[in-house]
Amino acid sequence: MAEVLLFHHALGLTEGVHAFAEELRRGGHTVHVPDLYEGRTFTDLEAGAGHAREIGFGTLVARGERAAEGLPGALVHAGFSLGVLPAQKLAQTRAGSLGALLIGACVPVEEFGAAWPEGVPVQVHAMDADPFFVDEGDLSAARELVAGAADRELFLYPGSAHLFAEAGAPSHVPEATALCVERVLCFLDGVRG
């Protein structure tokens, strides 16, 4: 079974993030969910994003890197939206990374100064009309990342919700979440350390 380091989105370490992690644990996987906000949570995406800007994205990525310290190198790095930043950086730059799960965001590979490593599979999940994902360049970055690579996949779900997998939130889309969880579990079951 895989070991996963899962980073939260701009709302913080919410019950929805814990619920998603629990789904993966039920599948037999070990999941670590660090708190990049040090206890703060938000119910409004703009307020949460404002808090992230106040802390600084570099600081949040550094907190994510510190969260990986002491854990095995053989991890799958996962993130929701804002949490994709540390997840993607670690997957690209940390020796021994087994894979990446990028949900609701994807940044250009060049952002972290390295090419995507050979043999590190990735899944990107988002809604096909999510304005944050589609209009801010994430969709283009995801398409470039998966182009021509058999072990990299982009899954688009119908709808416009950004945090579609956030159980308990108005943006939650249960059908898309269930399919996302199913695909993620298949990915994790196929990861080899």
Q: What is the mean pLDDT of residues 101-120?
A: 93
Residues 55-74: what's their mean pLDDT? 95
User: Residue 133's domain spans which residues?
Assistant: 3-190
How many domains are there within the chain?
1
State the burial class of residue 154 (Cβ atoms within 10 Å of its Cβ: 0-12, 13-18, 19+).
middle
CATH of residue 142: 3.40.50.1820
132-149 per-position pLDDT tens digit: 999 999 999 999 999 989
| Residue 193: pLDDT band with limits 50, 70, 90 | low
Q: pLDDT exceeding 90 applies to what percent of the chain?
A: 96
Burial class (CB in 10 A: 0-12, 13-18, 19+), 115: exposed
